[in-house]
């Protein structure tokens, strides 16, 4: 494994990071993303992919990320502390928790990523035979190292979370918050109307609250100009595309260009 979580280091410096989704869960795509200079590969285990409880599913993915110098950002399906621990032990160091509503569930998820937490004891166990401990080869400094590298973020994507922003963003060691406009629009009764004033207002309230609290905030911006503008507005975690969308668009364009024969 790479010695340090470069995503966490960048956010600690205040630098923006850029990533893209890997819907195919392909190690080849992850390597390619690293080669082109992306900072992270987004793996969505909430809506697809292998079981997040199957640690063997991460082996080739984490190795590909290490080979290409890119971090994996894994969205897990629930804030279950056992799942947080399981995914971290598989060698993933950046976790995104969706659909949170309260500070307490955020705190449980973050605490599950730490051996020491908020001046007390965390809720993570030592896994001697795990990839994150180098299969037991570096178990002696495992605890200190992991507390310095694990990064947990949350999706802000429902009305209740927006209402609880102040308490959620005050959770110690929360790594970042990511605005989820699609689910946010559904929660506000405006399904997929991402440009509706209510949805835009909730997203802006979220980003402003994050900036005020000193918590890095993320968003999806596929257009380069919009991504640059988002960085200027203070966003620091940018998802700027994915594997399937551009591939589909480009192949469709080529077929349209060939036309009927």
Could you give the dihedral angle defined by the CA atoms of residues 248, 57, 125 and 101, in that order, rounded to the nearest 10 degrees? 30
Residue 254, number of CB atoms within 10 A of its CB: 9
Please confirm, yes or no, whether 142 is among the known catalytic residues: no
**Residues near 178 by Cβ (< 8 Å), separated by ≥ 6?**
96, 153, 154, 155, 156, 217, 218, 219, 237
Q: Whole-angstrom Cα distance, residue 64 to residue 51?
A: 19
Token pair 């804030």 in the structure block, residue? 79
Helix, strand, coil % over all residues of the chain, rounded to 5:
45, 15, 40
Alpha helices in the chain (DSSP H): 6-13, 27-36, 59-68, 81-89, 103-111, 142-149, 159-163, 165-169, 181-187, 197-213, 224-232, 244-258
User: How many other CB atoms are found less than 10 A from the CB of residue 79?
Assistant: 24
Spot the catalytic one: 13, 47, 253, 254. 47
> What is the CB-side half-sphere exposure of residue 69 using CA atoms within 13 A?
4
**Greatest Cα pair distance in the chain:** 71
Which of the residues are catalytic?
A: 47
């Amino acid at each position: 494994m790479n010695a340090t979580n470069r995503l966490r280091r960048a956010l600690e410096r205040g630098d923006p990071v850029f990533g893209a989704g890997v819907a195919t869960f392909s190690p080849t795509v992850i390597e390619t993303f690293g080669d082109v200079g992306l900072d992270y590969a987004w793996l969505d285990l909430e809506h697809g992919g292998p079981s997040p409880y199957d640690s063997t599913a991460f082996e080739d993915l984490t190795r590909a990320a290490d080979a290409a110098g890119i971090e994996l950002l894994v969205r897990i399906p629930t804030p279950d502390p056992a799942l947080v621990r399981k995914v971290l032990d598989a060698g993933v160091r950046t976790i995104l928790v969706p659909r949170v509503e309260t500070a307490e569930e955020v705190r449980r998820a973050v605490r599950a990523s730490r051996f020491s937490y908020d001046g007390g004891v965390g809720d993570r166990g030592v896994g001697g035979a795990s990839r994150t401990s180098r299969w037991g080869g570096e178990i002696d400094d495992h605890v200190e190292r992991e507390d310095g590298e694990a990064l947990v973020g949350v999706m802000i994507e429902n009305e209740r979370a927006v209402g609880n922003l102040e308490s959620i963003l005050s959770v110690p060691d929360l790594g970042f918050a990511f605005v989820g406009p699609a689910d946010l629009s559904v929660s506000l009764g405006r399904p997929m109307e991402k440009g509706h004033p209510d949805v835009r207002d909730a997203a802006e309230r979220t980003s402003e609250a994050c900036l005020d609290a000193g918590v890095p905030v993320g968003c999806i911006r596929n257009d380069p100009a919009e991504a640059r503008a988002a960085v200027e507005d203070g966003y620091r975690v940018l998802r700027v595309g994915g594997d399937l969308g551009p591939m589909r668009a480009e192949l469709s364009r080529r077929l349209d260009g060939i036309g009927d024969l």
